A and B are shown apart, each in its own frame.
Chain A
């Protein structure tokens, strides 16, 4: 009863915003299955946030699994490795899932999957060699953002870090790969954390999991108690989308608010995705760089929904074929989760490091809201976790009111899609917000020149 009253009164206490989304974790009991190597992979040179790589191989070269095929001398970038062994047959532009073009190296398989000879466990003795090892591994944030991990570890002396937050919230519906990682690779997660803490001299660590995954919490806690030194805390967070967003999870796990336009490091925190964390432990043991990644393939239009480990660069089409292909009546294919993912126009795109899911839905199983006029109900403002007012932004975009846009702090929007989810009129609010950010950037470029 009390809970119900609190529910009715909740709009008054706006709190943190967010929405309750159905979890639909259909694949949570599917262990990650390794997909057989495809005949061909296409490895785009831009799989991360930051500077694109340039190819270090030529057409006709023979490459082996784990060999570097693309690198950059810029700091914010991560090398790219061959994910199958074979011959480089082309270096040409390819279309990525987000519609952008990027140069890519095409490798045709020789069927051997031979490991590159130079692969050996890296020698890590101090913070610098640790960072170098992480860079060499090609690791980027595997949760979806694709931010090069070694850049996060480059701590600046005037911003001391005291906590590392491991993000295992997985608040997007359908996706279960991080959950599987927590259950199947628990030991690696805890060991990695110990190593990171040791080399970077970070005293505290928090593993943050949404409370809809009690098994994962239990297992993490158990292993942390056995292996850890008591400095690793496992925390159950309320299941409320977007709990796993960087600023939200830092606030939930540490109580610190990251100021507008700042990074977690500004409040003394590093955030790592749980799968990325486990990868570091594995890499330090084997030296095998990031050449494959786990992803959830799910949705009503997939015949055999499951979690698969896919060589990077595999065509999305091959992955879907491996999962039984599409059912009839296919409506929408999404790279990423249903809230933040990108709807695809073609399945002929390569899997890159930052994709954690492919979802496909039948007609009638997704809610296609009609695009009606805004009725000013204010729900978008109520649920926005960043405290923005999407309906005002939309109005400013329509009026091309740049000053209004700048005033609206829209640049803080992380496109979590909560507003569009809550909108009863079915307005495409996220699209307007993205447009708003583009307009501000365009204006900045104009006045800058």
Chain B
């Protein structure tokens, strides 16, 4: 878990640089409330204190990364409550949650407070004394047929409207590379997830590379594919299962982006596939060494 936190640091720095001190505040509130909820629930349920495994910190960080910088502070603990208490501890704590806690927290907030959850502030606007200038996310603009205000360099650096941690492509890829190098995650899920989105969007955009680039770097695709979908507890055990799961995540996300009323579908894609993980696991059980397929066995018997 320490490695995941280290991998998230570049994105954290980027978000503070882009969205200002308020980003730090939301992050702090989110982390602290996740830790408090974890501690209190474990205490009430008379279970071992698990703060030291740092999973609550990771959940707090990821939750904050999925919130806009303008969100009223009192809403953050609500998301943390859903994530830690409802999704994680009610189901038995670390490793037992059936969906990604941070994502569920985000989705509950998104459904409960759609307005506040989609008010985006323009980058570098935090030091203005007047009211912050709001902006739209590039994906929203794309869906509405407009040319995004952010150019591709902005997409790369993260200087665009969006959730705190999702905007800076470079920081996220840096974190992902660190996780891969430390072998914390396997490349199966990010590659199959992003690959599916790439193929789908290439076709949907009529082989427009610009459109493809916005779709890959826009929204929460990278943070989702690298940090959220790869959560051990909610992804399949085997490599084959992981690839199926990654493709599934990508497809659902694309379908929502392309045809749904939301302009972002990554969270829903991951949550939906989380629910299917037990079935994927069942279908992709490993074959033991020296296992002979039934058909072959019958043939051998016939001989």
Contact = CB atoms under 8 A, between A and B. Distances in A.
Contact of B232 (A8, A378, A385): A378
Given A8-B181, A373-B93, A257 B237 contact: no
B94 A388 contact: no
B187 A389 contact: no
Interface residues of B, number: 28
B53 interface: yes
Interface string B252-292: 00000000000000000000000000000000011111111
* Main secondary structure on B side of the interface with A: loop
Interface string B90-118: 00011110000000000000000000000
Contact of A387 (B50, B237, B287, B292): B287
Nearest to B192: A12
Contacts of B239: 11-12, 14, 382
B238 interface: yes
Nearest to A261: B290
A149 B95 CA distance: 46
Interface in A1-32: 8-9, 11-12, 14
A386 B289 CA distance: 5
Sort chain A's interface into a size bin. Answer: 20 to 34
Contacts, number: 80
Nearest to A248: B289
Interface in A362-404: 372-378, 381-382, 384-389, 391-392
Contacts of B53: 372
Mostly helix, strand, loop or mixed at chain A's interface? loop
Contact of A260 (B187, B233, B290): B290
Nearest to A388: B288
Interface in B158-174: none
A345 interface: no
B238 A378 contact: yes
A344 interface: no
B143 interface: no
Contact of A247 (B180, B188, B285, B290): B290
A258 interface: yes
B186 interface: yes
Given A8-B180, A11-B186, A391-B237, A376 B232 contact: yes
A41 B188 CA distance: 57
A414 B203 CA distance: 49
A101 interface: no
B6 to A, nearest CB: 16
A247 B181 contact: no
A376 B237 contact: yes
A80 to B, nearest CB: 34
Nearest to B177: A8
A259 interface: yes
Nearest to A16: B289
B35 to A, nearest CB: 18
Given A14-B239, A376-B232, A389 B286 contact: yes
Interface in B43-86: 50, 53
A375 B232 contact: yes
B290 A262 contact: yes
B233 A375 contact: yes
B290 A389 contact: no
A412 interface: yes
A84 to B, nearest CB: 43
Contacts of B181: 8
B187 A409 contact: no
Contacts of A14: 238-239
A257 B288 CA distance: 11
Contacts of B288: 260, 386-388, 409, 412
A110 B79 CA distance: 81
Contacts of B50: 373
23 contacts: A11-B188, A12-B187, A12-B188, A247-B290, A259-B290, A260-B289, A260-B290, A373-B95, A375-B94, A375-B232, A376-B237, A377-B232, A378-B232, A378-B238, A381-B237, A381-B238, A386-B288, A386-B289, A388-B288, A389-B285, A389-B286, A392-B237, A409-B291
Interface of B: 50, 53, 93-96, 180-181, 183, 186-188, 232-233, 235-239, 243, 285-292
Interface of A: 8-9, 11-12, 14, 247, 251, 257-260, 262, 372-378, 381-382, 384-389, 391-392, 409, 412
